Structure 1
Amino acid sequence: MKLSLPKEPFSILFVCTANICRSPTAESVMRKQIVDAGLEKRIIVDSAGTHDYYVGAPPDVRAQAAARRHGYDLTSLRARQIQPADFEVFDLLLAMDMNNLGILRSMCPQRYLPKVRLLMDYARRESPAVIEDPFSGTARQFETALAHIEEACMGLMDLLMYGRITRR
């Protein structure tokens, strides 16, 4: 299998509202897929929030519990807010929902707008267009968000593996 990732690491930033539920979950899911594929030197992932509500805090305990049940570890992650430099540094910035997408697009310099997308654009199966925020919900809603994140990350990984995603 031939990879056509660039020689430099390809970088992905997952973005949700506060960086304590969906985006750290996506970071962890994608990191595991990257390690499983032996691409940890070729693909870098991180996560951030559009708001500063919980900067420095660990992921929500319910997100951590759902992730742990599926073999992911969020314990070392800490919330951070997106910074203007992230638009230049990252090759792909993936929002969890339309609100986050709109905020990212409003902050993003015009030349970097093609880097800003929805994570669910990469889902391989018919799935919802966005990953709903489980923060005010139940443990089941955290499980649902995780399942959608896994599906989208698998699709994104397939595209990365087969060279259909390139820097813009």
Structure 2
Amino acid sequence: MGESLAADPGPGRQLGQLLQPRHRDGAQEVRAPVRASGSRDNRAPDDRSQDHARRRGYELCDQRARALRPDDFERFDLLVAMDAGHLRELRRRCPAALQHKISLLPGEIQIPDPYYGGADGFDHVLDLLESGCARLAQIAAGRLA
């Protein structure tokens, strides 16, 4: 199985692409590697993103974004866009035979960019991401069962 990639973060969205989904079903835990892609190549997540994530037990200090590469569509099993604009861009760049690998988070969750707002925006983004990643992990666990 390939890796999972979340695509094209804005300055504050980088946080979302870097959370690793966790789901507990009895003793089973599903973890998926997550990579970030975007225009902020090799940059760490925004300090506010890191602070809010750390309060919830996520450590992002070693994470770095990178630009989406043409071979990512072959390499990764799933590319998760954070909003409809990113979804359109991924679909535009993806070969027709690999379009099935691209989606929003389950439930068509779209992640807003908290970069220009207040602290509540980062918490809201985390809430959305945890919910979407939990659903994604449930789907993955069902397919692996």
TM-score (norm 2): 0.86
Aligned residue runs from structure 1 range 1-80, under 5 A: 9-18=1-10, 20-30=11-21, 33=22, 37=28, 39=30, 43-49=32-38, 52=39, 54-80=40-66
Aligned residue runs from structure 1 range 109-124, under 5 A: 109-119=95-105, 122-123=106-107
- 1:160 counterpart residue number: 140
Aligned residue runs from structure 1 range 84-123, under 5 A: 84-119=70-105, 122-123=106-107
- CA deviation vs aligned residue, 1:63-95 (integer Å, no higher than 9, x gap): 101101101000000121111111110111000
* 1:27 CA displacement: 2.5
* 1:39 CA displacement: 4.8
Cα pair 1:15 1:93 within 8 Å, conserved: yes
- Matched length: 142
Judging by fraction of residues, say which structure has more strand. Answer: 2
* 1:15 CA displacement: 1.6
Distance (whole Å) between structure 2 residues aligned to residue 23 and residue 109 of structure 1: 25
1:28 to 1:17, Cα distance in 2 relative to 1, 3 A: closer
> SS at 1:162's partner residue?
helix
* 1:136 CA displacement: 1.4
- 1:3 counterpart residue number: none
Distance (whole Å) between structure 2 residues aligned to residue 118 and residue 55 of structure 1: 22
Q: Where do 5+ consecutive residues of structure 2 fail to align?
A: none
Aligned residues: percent identity?
A: 33
What residue identity is the alignment partner of 2:16? T
- 1:148 counterpart residue number: 128
- CA deviation vs aligned residue, 1:88-109 (integer Å, no higher than 9, x gap): 1011100000110011111111
- 2:68 counterpart residue number: 82
Distance (whole Å) between structure 2 residues aligned to residue 45 and residue 104 of structure 1: 16
